């Protein structure tokens, strides 16, 4: 029986999503909790791997269970065995043809950036931070150049394992809520560190170091060394994959992020 789960987690205490020697990842914690319910080791596959320090409001995974359990066992039961900072939000049986990663037609990320002279205290680890003044209009103009199909090599980490740097961006926006800048991105898929590299470039433009048209130059030159440094993982949230409606999977409302702004 194949089961899909929706998770949320705070990445601050984890070494990223993917299982590693020595443990300490979200995948390690989830697989250990599932083993308690199933009674045997269980492997899970996710919609999108996240780095150390990156959070998720809607990570989707799937696994094949050798035993049947009520849906409540996959939610409340698994949550009983998970550490603080990670929780299952929903569970649903799916057909064997469903794959958390390959069935997704898109993925969504949000970056929260605190823009004030003082570093964050209350939200430390959950917000990015830049101390200097930022020009919203300039960053919005730069964002407007990102949608479409592009070679995003200039925003690709050296260790990226993606077969192709060509991705289709369907949304790239930034808005300001007081001292907080909210960046939203949606694309067919993302390269390793792509969102953090985009945010770093937009901050360079926002502080006046480069004009909005710099984005066009970087896309054309396809050279990571010419773009801005990778920005902090602290304010990055994986908002989940986008699936076709026929899968019937829940899409939990994460507007609490907006309510907290």
Q: Tell me the pLDDT band of 254, cut-offs 50, 70 and 90.
A: low
With 80 as the cut, is the pLDDT of residue 252 above it? no
Does position 55 have pLDDT exceeding 60, yes or no? yes
Cβ–Cβ < 8 Å for 158, 224: yes
* Residues of the chain above pLDDT 90, percent: 92
| DSSP secondary structure of 165-209 | SEEEEEEEEEEEETTEEEEEEEES---TTHHHHHHHHHHHHHTTS
Residue 46 has pLDDT above 90, yes or no: yes
Quick one: pLDDT band at residue 195, thresholds 50, 70, 90? very high
Average confidence score pLDDT of the chain = 95
pLDDT for 259 beyond 80? no
Could you tell me if 250 and 114 are in contact, meaning their C-beta atoms sit under 8 angstroms apart? no
Neighbours of 241 (CB within 10 A): 23
Query: Would the pLDDT of 167 be above 80?
Result: yes
pLDDT at 92: 96
Based on the residue annotation, tell me whether 51 is a catalytic residue of this protein: yes
How much is the average pLDDT of 142-164? 95
Q: Out of 51, 234, 255, 258, pick the active-site residue.
A: 51
Would you state the pLDDT for residue 22? 87
The pTM assigned to this predicted structure is 0.95
Contact 261, 182 (CB under 8 A): yes
pLDDT score for 40: 95
């Amino acid at each position: 029986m194949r089961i899909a789960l929706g998770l949320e987690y705070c990445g601050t205490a984890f070494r990223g999503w993917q299982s590693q020697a020595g443990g300490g990842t979200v995948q390690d914690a989830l697989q250990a909790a599932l083993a308690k319910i199933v009674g045997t080791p269980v492997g899970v596959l996710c919609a999108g791997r996240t780095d150390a320090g990156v959070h998720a409001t809607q990570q989707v995974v799937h696994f094949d269970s050798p035993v049947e359990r009520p849906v409540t066992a996959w939610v409340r039961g698994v949550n009983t065995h998970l550490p603080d900072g990670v929780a299952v939000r929903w569970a649903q049986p799916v057909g064997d043809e469903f794959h958390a990663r390959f069935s997704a037609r898109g993925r969504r990320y949000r970056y929260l950036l605190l823009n004030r002279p003082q570093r964050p205290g209350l939200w430390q680890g959950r917000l990015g931070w830049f101390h200097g003044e930022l020009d919203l209009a300039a960053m919005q103009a730069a964002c407007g150049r990102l949608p479409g199909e592009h070679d995003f090599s200039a925003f690709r980490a050296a260790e990226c394992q993606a077969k192709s740097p060509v991705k289709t961006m369907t949304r790239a926006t930034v808005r300001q809520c007081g001292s907080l800048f909210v960046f939203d991105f949606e694309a067919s898929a993302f390269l390793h560190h792509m969102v953090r590299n985009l945010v770093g470039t937009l901050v360079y433009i926002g502080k006046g170091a480069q004009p909005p048209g710099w984005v066009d130059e970087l896309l054309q030159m396809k050279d990571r060394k010419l773009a801005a440094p990778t920005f902090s993982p602290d304010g990055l949230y994986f908002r989940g994959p986008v699936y076709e409606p026929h899968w019937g999977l829940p899409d939990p409302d994460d507007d609490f992020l907006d309510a907290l702004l």
